A and B are shown apart, each in its own frame.
Chain A
Amino acid sequence: GAVVSQHPSRVICKSGTSVKIECRSLDFQATTMFWYRQFPKKSLMLMATSNEGSKATYEQGVEKDKFLINHASLTLSTLTVTSAHPEDSSFYICSARDQAQAGGFTDTQYFGPGTRLTVL
Chain B
Amino acid sequence: RKEVEQDPGPFNVPEGATVAFNCTYSNSASQSFFWYRQDCRKEPKLLMSVYSSGNEDGRFTAQLNRASQYISLLIRDSKLSDSATYLCVVIKGGTSYGKLTFGQGTILTVHP
Which residues in A have some Cβ–Cβ distance to B below 8 Å? 32, 34, 42-46, 49, 91, 93, 95, 97, 107-109, 111-114, 116
Contact = CB atoms under 8 A, between A and B. Distances in A.
Contacts of B105: 43
Contacts of A46: 99-101
Nearest to A46: B99
23 contacts: A34-B98, A42-B104, A43-B87, A43-B102, A43-B103, A43-B104, A44-B44, A44-B87, A44-B100, A44-B102, A45-B102, A46-B99, A46-B100, A46-B101, A49-B98, A49-B99, A93-B43, A107-B98, A109-B100, A111-B43, A111-B44, A114-B41, A114-B43
Contact of B45 (A34, A42, A107, A111): A111
Contacts of A42: 104
B45 A32 contact: no
Contacts of B100: 34, 44, 46, 95, 109
Contacts of A116: 41
Nearest to B104: A43
B42 A97 contact: no
Given A111-B44, A112-B43, A113-B42, A97 B103 contact: no
A43, A91, A95, A111 interface centre (most CB from chain B within 10 Å) = A43
Contacts of A34: 98-100
Interface string B30-48: 0000000000011111100
A69 to B, nearest CB: 15
A22 to B, nearest CB: 15
